[in-house]
Structure 1
Amino acid sequence: MSEHLHEHTPMTGRAKVAWIVFAVIAAFYLLTEHRAHLLGALPFLLLLACPLMHLFMHGGHRDHSHGPPDKGTDK
């Protein structure tokens, strides 16, 4: 049984430009047609950002001590 190895050639410059143009057009239509949905979800996204910022900016409240670390104890 022989295996055929298919080499994938990178896209040519024209194909890359075509995909970029397609992506820009698709993004434009998504933003213009669904602007009301996006703006309607904005307050909920702001509320969701609060607990996420609390977790990531406070480090999850792992250590409440504000003094220097104890050098005599191994954790």
Structure 2
Amino acid sequence: MHHHENQNEPQGSFLASRTGLVLMGFLAIGGFLLFTEHRAHVLGALFWVLPFACLFMHMFMHGGHGGHQDHGSHRQPDERNPS
């Protein structure tokens, strides 16, 4: 039977570890260099963010309402108030 002393200790987050911090630093430096070298492309693409965000939100966030039918004509009478 093997018992490990570190078995009950909480494991830290990867991003809080030394490796995670170094990775975040390299990603931040790389992102900054990419942005400064390709600023015209990035700022030119920002024009398309709002139209595509609206399109994708309309396509994916309206999934549960059952389409665009007239909801008022298909109402069921309330069981508590049968009027």
Identity percentage of aligned residues? 42
RMSD between aligned residues: 2.8
Q: Does 1:64 align with 2:76?
A: no
- Cα distance change on mapping 1:39 and 1:18 into 2, 3 Å: same
Q: Where do 5+ consecutive residues of structure 1 fail to align?
A: 1-10
Aligned residues: 59
Separation in structure 1 between the aligned mates of residue 68 and residue 21 of structure 2, nearest angstrom: 51
Task: Work out the CA distance in 2 between the residues paired with 1:42 and 1:49.
Answer: 11
Q: Secondary structure at the match of 2:31?
A: helix
Asked if 1:17 is matched to 2:21, the reply is yes
Query: SS of 1:55's equivalent?
Result: helix
- Per the alignment, do residues 17 and 53 of structure 1 end up closer, same or farther by CA in structure 2, a change over 3 Å counting? closer
- TM-score w.r.t. the length of structure 1 is 0.52
Q: Any stretches of 5+ residues in structure 2 without a counterpart?
A: 1-13, 78-83
